[in-house]
Amino acid sequence: METVKINNNISLHYIEMKKLKTTVAGMYIRRRLCREDASKNALIPYVLKSGCMRYPKIQDINAQLDELYGAKMSTGVIKNGDNQVIFFDCETISDKYAPNGEKLISGLLDMLFCVAFEPLCENDSFKNDIVEREKNTVKEKIQALIDDKRSYAQLRCTQEVCEGDAFAISKFGEIEDLEKISATELYEHYKKMITSSQIDIFISGEANIDELSMQVKKYTDSMEFSECERTESAKIKPCNEVKKVTEKMDVTQGKLSIGFTTELTADDDRYPALVVANSIFGAGTHSKLFMNVREKLSLAYYASSMLNKHKGIMSINAGIEFKNFQKAYDEVILQLNELKNGNITDDELNFSITTITNTLKSHYDDQRYMQLYALDGLYLGIDTDLENYIDRIMKVTKEDVIEVSKYIKENTVYFLTGTNGGEE
């Protein structure tokens, strides 16, 4: 990755990926995750995408995208550790395939800057009708998280594990906070946000980084920026007593989610071993959870585990019959203890390493993954060279896995059960 520092707030990153026929541009605006601003930050990208000074209607934006040979632009918000990140994602065909030699990525960047930096406003305020409409967009996204009970159970478990920590805050904020936001208040927040944030612009594909950096500098030179905030993510510490939470809803399938602390984040030299341990435990069809909880004992419709590299937590998620809660829970803990006690076959170890490295290598064909992988590295302050990471994974031994698995400690047991049945 080649990086050009535009100013103290903005950096341009170029990831060369010549074999692909498209170029992807991503802009990531980093903000501290807090309840006070979460709903405002979540609302802003949708308001901006609805129109800007040069393209005042969404139809105008779409027409300009069509002019760039069917280019695409999407926006939204993600949670990256203790950061809430507003993003814009754009894609067009590579310049070398442009029928008439057009500078398509330059045109797409120009449009992106118009949308992000030249919002449609009147009387020092966003337009009220647009803000109210996009509030409904965010509300629908919040409701969608609740409606997807698998994701909801995972979210609720994480909130319990991270109680009192910024990571417990939803990336979309809360509906009650959203409803209170006025168009004027949101515009005031936008002006502060856009000039006081770390902004990382990524280009992945094939482009002239020198020309694009000059374009970014020319566009932003007249803007006045203030010192930007950079929030470092804090790892979740182990607890003294396991928290048990049962929630009832009108569901026909129980959702079991167990949260663990690991004390290891991606900036730790031992993290690759934890990634392999997680794969052996529950990340894939070869894992102990899949082979035993699901296949051998038929205690779950699905059962898997996942890591959060920023917060040092692991979670397992399983869809179960209400009556099987205790049996499924006991088997999950049994398989974790098998891992900790070193009952790991050579096949489990080798297959996990092969699966992880093959997945990582496949991302050389995924421009967006490469951007997000690099973004993680920037926020964590770690090496972003994918080959180095693959090499570290391949060197993980059984002894490494046993050692890091000792750090996995149970924190929260969350069970979503039905309103008319199920065991306590």
3-state helix, strand, coil in the chain (%, to 5): 45, 25, 30
Scored b (16 or more CB within 10 A) or e, 130-144 reads bbeebbeebeebbee
pLDDT at residue 421, as a whole number: 53
Per-residue pLDDT of the chain (424 residues; tens, 9 = 90+): 999 999 999 999 999 999 899 999 999 999 999 999 999 999 999 999 999 999 999 999 999 999 999 999 999 999 999 999 999 999 999 999 999 999 999 999 999 999 999 999 999 999 999 999 999 999 999 999 999 999 999 999 999 999 999 999 999 999 999 999 999 999 999 999 999 999 999 999 999 999 999 999 999 999 999 999 888 899 999 999 999 999 999 999 999 999 999 999 999 999 999 999 999 999 989 999 999 999 999 999 999 999 999 999 999 999 999 999 999 999 999 999 999 999 999 999 999 999 999 999 999 999 999 999 999 999 999 988 999 999 999 999 999 999 999 999 999 999 999 987 544 4
Residue with tokens 């208040």: 185
pLDDT at residue 231, as a whole number: 87
How far is 120 from 213, CA to CA, in rounded Å? 26
Residue with tokens 């070398």: 96
- Of 343, 330, 325, the C-alpha closest to 281 is 343
CB 299 within 8 A of CB 324: yes
395: its two tokens: 């060197």
Please give the single-letter amino acid code of residue 115: V
How far is 145 from 153, CA to CA, in rounded Å? 10
Distances (CA, A) of 293 to 274, 285, 307: 21, 11, 19
Separation of first and last alpha carbons in the chain: 52
Instruction: Report the chain's C-alpha Rg in angstroms.
Output: 23
Identify the bridge partners of residue 78 per DSSP, sorted by sequence position. Answer: 85
CA count, 13 A, side-chain hemisphere, 335 = 25
Cβ burial, residue 173 (10 Å; 0-12/13-18/19+): buried
How far is 181 from 179, CA to CA, in rounded Å? 6
146: its two tokens: 């609740």
Please give the single-letter amino acid code of residue 24: V
How far is 213 from 117, CA to CA, in rounded Å? 17
178: its two tokens: 């959203």
Domains of the chain by range and CATH?
2-220 (3.30.830.10), 243-418 (3.30.830.10)
371: its two tokens: 């951007």
pTM: 0.95
Please give the single-letter amino acid code of residue 350: N
| Backbone conformation region of residue 398, classed left if phi is above 0, alpha if psi is from -120 to 50, else beta | alpha
- Of 136, 64, 27, 49, the C-alpha closest to 368 is 27
Phi, psi (rounded to 5 degrees) for 386: -65, -35
pLDDT at residue 376, as a whole number: 95
How far is 186 from 110, CA to CA, in rounded Å? 24
Q: For residue 25, give the H/E element and its range.
A: strand 22-32
SS3 for 360?
helix
E strand spans, 193-237: 198-205
16: its two tokens: 């060369």
Residue with tokens 């814009």: 88
Residue count (the chain): 424
pLDDT at residue 420, as a whole number: 72
pLDDT at residue 384, as a whole number: 85
